[in-house]
Amino acid sequence: MAKRMNLSAANAVRTILKNKEDFKVELVEKTNDGDRTNYLYDVFFNDQNGTLNIAVEQGEIKIAVLNLNMGRIISLATDTNMKKLAQYVLDNEL
């Protein structure tokens, strides 16, 4: 049984990065549009689930948005750790 963690928008990404073994993703869709590659993942972290959208252009992460079922949307603009999480997912394809 998964351990329950209290995630707030303020600490969600940091908590996921500290507990990577409990973070799972499934690639739903990968599309190419010119130089941009878009990835859509379903994400699962203990009792939370949601989606992760990543857009990579010329090897650089341009967009990373995490939408968890707690009703919060976390992006590069709101959490600098999103780039680390997106790179981890792309490097590991959990």
CA 62 → CA 4, 48, 53, 54, 78, distances in Å? 32, 25, 11, 8, 14
| Domain ranges, ordered by start, for the chain | 12-92
Residue 22: what residue type? D
Q: What is the pLDDT of residue 1?
A: 44
In the CATH scheme, what is the code of domain 12-92?
3.10.450
Q: What is the pLDDT of residue 86?
A: 96
Q: 1-38 pLDDT, tens per residue?
A: 445 445 555 688 999 999 999 999 999 999 999 999 99
Look over the chain and give the mean of its residue pLDDT values, rounded to a whole number: 88
Q: What is the pLDDT of residue 89?
A: 96
Per the DSSP assignment, residues forming a β-bridge with 37 are 32, 56
Torsion of CA 13, 25, 19, 12, to 10 degrees: 20
Q: What is the pLDDT of residue 8?
A: 57
For residue 13, the SS3 value is: helix
Q: What is the pLDDT of residue 12?
A: 87
